[in-house]
Amino acid sequence: MNATARREAALVLADGSVFEGEAIGAAPPDGIASGELVFNTVLTGYQEVLTDPSYAGQIITFTNPHIGNYGVNAADFESRRPFCRGLVVRDLARRHSNWRAEASLDDLLERYGVPGIAGIDTRRLTRLIRDTGALPGAFGTASEQALLAAARAEPGTDGVDLVAEVTTPEPYTVRFAGASDGRPLRIVAYDYGIKRTILRHLALIGEVEVVPAATTAADVLGREPDGVFLSNGPGDPAVVPYAVEAVGSLIGKVPVFGICLGHQIIGRAVGAATVKLPFGHHGGNHPVRELDTGQIDITSQNHNFAVHPDQLGRAEITHVNLNDGVCEGLRVPGERVFSVQHHPEAGPGPHEAGRHFDDFATMLRNGVS
């Protein structure tokens, strides 16, 4: 989009804070887009972040001031479309330059109906979110009074089943892409908002049947899987009791591995509590320590909720976040179950924790050997 086509816009938070900028992307209805403001600290990977279904219900602020410089392409989508409510940046690149680019970031926003705002003092906004916690907000070309009213009416992500908005409507299969001398392992993957990078990792282990979030345990067991995977996804694990019930019925009958929301659902299924963090973890540089070995990985993260470290039920902690002590991994003694809060598949981010997919593969192969 050229400079002359940009429209004056504003971002207004529920606490009354006002930020002036320029509208980018799609024009929202009545000139207002609202959602829960969060910030992400990655330096690259903006397309993967925008298309991660875990951001449903949220407006993404990038702390990196320069966004869009290498464009976008079809290969880097993490889902069928963006599910976030909007995008906030300091400076949207006016020209993109990369041999893989097929379009601009602004083109992507317009194509999928995602509104955005540029020219925002994202340093000030990030400090405000960090100090006060995630806040509802609204932005667009409407009046400040209208934006403030929309921000204060925005419910945020608490108590909302966002998984139902992003899960696949029908089962589908991702074929085995690895090398094997015998029968490929069979994995059933629950889609709570699954990322394509995760599916690529799982397909190196076996054939993957992806099923909707509300699929029952009986249905899953009827597919005779060697293991079950629980994906990432948006929102509060307390408002998806159907998922918790199904996972509770699967534990003890089949190996289970969970990432992010899947990790939280495992926790609740074995009696743990979950809590909302003040502003969540969203970025690609979070240090995580494995308690058994002392190994530290730099990890990719995207979550607003976490397992309560003092209310673990039958689970025990395997990993902790070195920034704030948040529970980053669980196992259930006596069961073939483990999970991590961070994203070992990255997409974007570092790949140091990718061995957890190897651990899952080993667990499955031991069960069929």
**Fold of the CATH domain 3-153:** Glucose Oxidase; domain 1 (3.50.30)
Q: Tell me what pLDDT residue 2 has.
A: 45
Q: Tell me what pLDDT residue 3 has.
A: 45
Q: Tell me what pLDDT residue 5 has.
A: 64
Q: Tell me what pLDDT residue 366 has.
A: 87
pLDDT digits (tens, 9 = 90+) for 135-157: 999 999 999 999 999 999 999 88
Q: Where residue 179 falls among pLDDT bands split at 50, 70, 90?
A: confident
E strand segments, 193-241: 206-212, 227-230
| Domain pair 3-153 / 163-368, same fold | no
Task: Report whether pLDDT(313) > 80.
Answer: yes
Mean pLDDT, the chain, integer: 95
Q: Which residues are catalytic?
A: 260, 343, 345
Average pLDDT of 340-351? Answer: 95
Task: Report whether pLDDT(369) > 50.
Answer: no
Alpha-carbon distance of 197 to 78, in angstroms, equals 7
- CATH among 3.40.50.880, 1.10.10.10, 3.40.720.10, 3.20.20.70 for 163-368: 3.40.50.880
Q: Percentage of residues in the chain with pLDDT exceeding 70?
A: 98
Alpha-carbon distance of 64 to 320, in angstroms, equals 26
Q: Tell me which of 3 and 70 has the higher pLDDT.
A: 70
- Ranges of each domain in the chain: 3-153, 163-368
Task: Report whether pLDDT(61) > 90.
Answer: yes
Alpha-carbon distance of 299 to 20, in angstroms, equals 33
Q: Where residue 367 falls among pLDDT bands split at 50, 70, 90?
A: confident
